[in-house]
Structure 1
Amino acid sequence: MSADRDATDVRTDVLVVGAGVAGLACAHDLLAAGVAVRVVEADAEVGGRMRTDRVEGFVVDRGFQVFNTSYPQVRGRLDLRPLRLRPFTPGVLIHTESGRLRFSDPTRRPRTLPDLLPGRLAGTRDLLALAVLSGRDMLAPPRLLKSATDTTTRTALADAGISDTFVERFFRPFLSGVFLEDELVTSSRFFHLVWRSMLRGTLCLPAEGIGAVPRALAAALPEGTVRLETPVERLTDDGALTVAGRELAARAVVVATGPGALAALLPRAGVPAYRTVTTYYHVAPTSPLAEPTLLVDTRRRFLNTCVLSDVAPGHAPRGHALVATSVLGGDAEGREREVRGALREAYGTGTDGWDLLTVRTVADALPAMAPPQPLVRTSRVAAGRYACGDHRATGSVQGALASGARAAGEVLRDLGR
């Protein structure tokens, strides 16, 4: 990978603007078909929103993210072994006003079956309804889930026979962290696909942080394909013009950037509203949990929290614990203090001695996916102009990768390849 100042420009078949996972997947498929491709990226690293920083010896992702092993695009594109994936517990802890409850998958951890006894987390009718919903989502062909009538997630849960009490106790606090909205107005189609992926896969963290995923995708491309630190100012009739004034000639241009740059470069593409999330990273002297499990709050003072160093020990230097806690929206004065107070209750330990390491706000973390939600959108915007990203599929790594693949296919067809 090189920077904008390197090399002399030559005409290429396809220019991909943006080296997030969608753009990298698109480039890979185009190259595999024998098409000359160049990828330009404004930042100094690949990954887009999937980036990892080193902060005072700690591994910090740009916002809390997890990696799901069940996604078809993930299985087809990545060798997972070099990522050294570290799994979360198959379940969550739920902080309630009457104490902490555990929701686990007893098919993976039979010893947790007592946690699902009627009367603890939910009643018998709710547990039976959950079993039916989960069995259907896990075993049904994905096309059936994608073609079902689209409603809100809350309506879908009610239609499945799940009570409001169980929704408020488990689904709402848990899914708020998945959808980045706490009213469960997200597409039911997307919910069923997400629930299926969780049942069939494992939620993990790469040992070196989520940024290891796009780095692995970029490493599979030929040397010199990706040019870093090359922001594009605008598209031209012949390709694109960089901020540095360099012409990048190409027969086709695929814009695989975040929503802001996409709207500037391809105004006709149409960009949905995005959800904002802020993650607070605290350093504690010891782990307040001592297990690799997500913790959610029925009062929804935070989306979720976990001890990252319990999941991937290398995320924190020896003798320290790294705690990540996410909330909806941006950072604000006094908010960290409120979060710290909520964590004191949720973890059942003092937090005054915790140090705030850093704060990460991601303004375009996830596209809003209200019903009816199209799960597939064409990448074609105009002649020779294409767009890809999670905003043209589903708000997930699977959606971003699939969108990149779809863009590559449409470009190849239009080029007669």
Structure 2
Amino acid sequence: MDKKDYKINIIGAGLSGLAAAKVLENHGYHPEIYEASDAVGGRIKTDHVKGHRLDRGFQVLLSQYPKAKQYLDFDKLNLKSLKPGAVIFSKGKKSRIGDPLRDSSLLLSSVFSGIGTLADKWKILKLNLELKKLSPEDIFQEKETTTMEYLKQKGFSEDIITNFFRPFFSGIFLEPDLRTSSRMFRFVFKMFGEGEAVIPAAGMGDISQQLAGNLNNTKIHFNTPVEQVTDSTLILKDGREAKSHFTIIAAEASSLVSNLRNQQMDWKSCHCFYFTSKTAGIDGRIIGLIADDSALVNNIFYHSSLNDSEVDQHLISVTIVKETELDAKQLEFRIRKELKEYCDIEVDELLKHYEIKKALPDLNSLQYEIMPTETRLNNRIFLAGDQLLNGSQNAALLSGERAALGVIETLEGGAITAEITSEYR
């Protein structure tokens, strides 16, 4: 039986599913992907609205992610680098801070920002140097505590925690209390310290499009949600069935496999609003953070800054990570009020509101690595997705790769090849 004749199905065309398909193709297999929506990307997509490119939630790619460097062609993505810092809006004051070792233009503004003490800045430098000596695997073997507790243990001042660490990492972790594992904080801090935060000029969805474009022998079935997975069959929502020798579930698996029912994932959510504006309230490609506890808005970013030429209309995203019971209209009113009150920014037309209910998996014990055999639910069904490891694009790609290698090892190890061949006949 030729490799291309094995029915290897992948559920989900997000980063995990696309990476799994690429690994299978590299080993001579011809997988098929079943995707419930009309496009690849999962949580990383870009929409076109009234001449603007809107990512589904403000996201960046960290250029130092090992698996991003392995699977993506950065040059073809036309990546735009963000400044390594932030503009902080707090108590009616606007301060610009960042890493002057990587961007000298941030030196004076950071020194005179009034945020954090000299001791804080020395501790940040020491932390950068410490993390450079550690591998991601080393970091994820460390004892865990919460990020907030870790920052306090390291002796950072309340001022820099409140005005920088909490708003900055709340936007990354999508939770306002920094209860996320210290392993994740140290991993992300290392990635920021050694690389750049980047966004493709055409939007984050270009990452998913590039991964899909690199596939030559994979068939993708769009608008084809799967109802149930058994060892030998995919049962589709419309009642059709698809034969399967192996299945990689690169999506939430609890509703698809009978022995996983009642094991639902917990998820972090957020709101993202896109507005147009006549002027830019922040100069350059740098994130804006509102540090006041009473504010609902966490961060803002002018996506129009990614353009290398002048624009007639600026595009700004506004992200909320705190839980709220306000409806969309009430949220819009609150956002406009807070932007004016805290940032002296006025916005014009609301282009789009995204309520992203499954933005990041809400995990307790975080890992960096997973062995191919650990992705195996049974001999025929394998799992992929960042929820297996940690909430990152790197974890999504890595888990997809490992699940594909798990299928390949099972198949080429010969343990069930005869069984599958007899089914095929």
**TM-score, length-scaled by structure 1:** 0.90
Q: Does the C-alpha gap of structure 1 residues 323 and 26 become closer, same or farther in structure 2, counting only changes over 3 Å?
A: same
Instruction: Give the 5 Å matches for 1:67-146.
Output: 67-117=61-111, 120-146=114-140
Q: Which of residues 285, 292, 295 is equivalent to 1:292?
A: 285
- Shift in alpha-carbon separation, 1:147–1:118, aligned structure 2, 3 A: farther
Kept in 2, the 8 Å contact 1:42–1:230? The answer is yes
- Residue number in structure 2 paired with 1:238: 232
Structure 1 gaps, min length 5: 1-9
> What is the match of residue 397 of structure 2?
401
The partner residue of 1:249 within 243, 249, 254 is: 243
Q: In structure 1, the residue corresponding to 2:399 is in which secondary structure?
A: helix
TM alignment of 1:166-181, pairs within 5 A? 166-181=160-175
The answer to whether structure 1 residue 391 and structure 2 residue 372 are counterparts is: no
Shift of 1:411: 1.5
- Report the 3-state secondary structure (helix = DSSP H, G, I; strand = E; otherwise coil) of the residue aligned with 1:334: helix
Aligned length: 400
> Whole-Å Cα distance in 1 between the matches of residues 56 and 345 of structure 2?
26
Does the Cα contact within 8 Å between 2:140 and 2:367 map onto a contact in 1?
A: no
In structure 2, stretches of 5+ residues that fail to align are: 414-425
Name the CA distance, whole Å, in 2 between partners of 1:163 and 1:125. Answer: 9
Q: Does 1:365 align with 2:359?
A: yes
Q: How far apart are residue 395 of structure 1 and its match?
A: 0.6
The residue number in structure 2 matching 1:7 is none
From 33, 36, 40, the equivalent of 1:42 is 36
- What displacement does 1:91 show? 0.8
**C-alpha deviation, 1:337, in angstroms:** 1.0
Q: Corresponding residue for 2:418? A: none
Query: What secondary structure does 1:122 align onto?
Result: coil
- Partner Cα separation in structure 1 for residue 278 and residue 92 of structure 2: 27
Moved more, 34-43 or 193-202: 34-43
The Cα shift of 1:11 comes to: 6.1
Provide the rounded CA distance (Å) in 1 between the counterparts of 2:391 and 2:22. 21
Quick one: distance in 2 between partners of 1:56 and 1:118?
41
Paired with 1:237 and 1:145, the residues of 2 have a C-alpha distance of 36
Q: CA deviation at 1:143?
A: 2.6
Match of 1:266 in 2: 257
- Could you tell me how far 1:376 is from its partner in structure 2? 4.0
Deviates more, 1:329-338 or 1:199-208: 329-338
| Cα distance, 1:286 vs structure 2 | 2.4
Normalised by the length of structure 2, the TM-score is 0.89
Letter in 2 for 1:263: S
Kept after mapping to 1: 8 A contact 2:96/2:113: no
Quote the residue 1:5 is aligned against: none
* Identity %, equivalent residues: 28
The answer to whether the aligner puts 1:304 opposite 2:322 as a matched pair is no
Q: Which AA in structure 1 matches 2:302?
A: V
Q: What corresponds to 2:339 in structure 1?
A: 343
Contact map agreement 1:268 1:381 (CA 8 A) in 2: no
1:334 lines up with 2:300 in the alignment: no
Deviations 1:138-177 (A, max 9, x none): 3322232121111111111122221222211110111100
Q: Secondary structure of the residue that 2:140 maps to in structure 1?
A: helix
Q: In the alignment, which residue of structure 1 is the partner of 2:422?
A: none
Deviation at 1:53, TM superposition (A): 0.8
Aligned counterpart, 2:416: none
Shift of 1:313: 5.9
Amino acid in structure 1 at the alignment position of 2:257: L
Mapping of residues 155-174 of structure 1, within 5 Å: 155-174=149-168
1:79/1:374 CA distance change after superposition, 3 Å: closer
